[in-house]
């Protein structure tokens, strides 16, 4: 089940060789727009170009200041749009439980 949430701020961080050895200078957090989310992945809008099959870190920050940092892979890009399908590296039941607990308005996709 996919949820539409407007109360979660999302940033991504690209993972590459430079970020692994280069320190904070190469670990830039890129703000993106969350279109929908589940405990398996999410759909985002990103002005920054992302390559399909690239590894990223998804940083989710709730209004309660609770933060999740999740390894993920870009699995698709919508043609003609800057929308990307993101698959989390593993099911994240803790995230799913927290989303249900903090959901105020139920909007499903």
Can you tell me the distance from the alpha carbon of 8 to that of 63, in angstroms, rounded to the nearest whole number? 7
Look at residue 2 in the predicted model and tell me its pLDDT.
80
| Global confidence as pTM | 0.84
Q: Could you tell me which of 16, 72, 11 has the C-alpha nearest to residue 39?
A: 72
Give me the residue label for tokens 């407007």. 6
Give residue-wise pLDDT tens across range 32-77: 999 999 889 999 999 999 999 999 999 999 998 999 999 999 999 9
Both tokens of residue 39?
């405990």
The helices-and-strands tally (H runs, E runs) of the chain is: 2, 6
- CA geometry: angle at 47 spanning 55 and 65, to 5°? 70
């Amino acid at each position: 089940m996919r949820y539409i949430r407007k109360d979660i701020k999302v940033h991504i961080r690209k993972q590459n060789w430079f970020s692994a050895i280069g320190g904070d200078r190469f670990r830039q957090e890129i703000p993106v727009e969350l279109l929908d989310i589940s405990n398996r992945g999410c759909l985002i809008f990103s002005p920054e170009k992302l390559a399909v099959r690239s590894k990223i870190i998804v940083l989710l920050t709730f209004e309660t200041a609770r933060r999740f940092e999740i390894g993920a892979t870009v699995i698709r890009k919508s043609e003609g749009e800057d929308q990307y399908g993101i698959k989390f590296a593993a099911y994240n039941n803790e995230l799913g439980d927290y989303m249900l607990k903090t959901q105020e308005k139920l909007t499903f996709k």
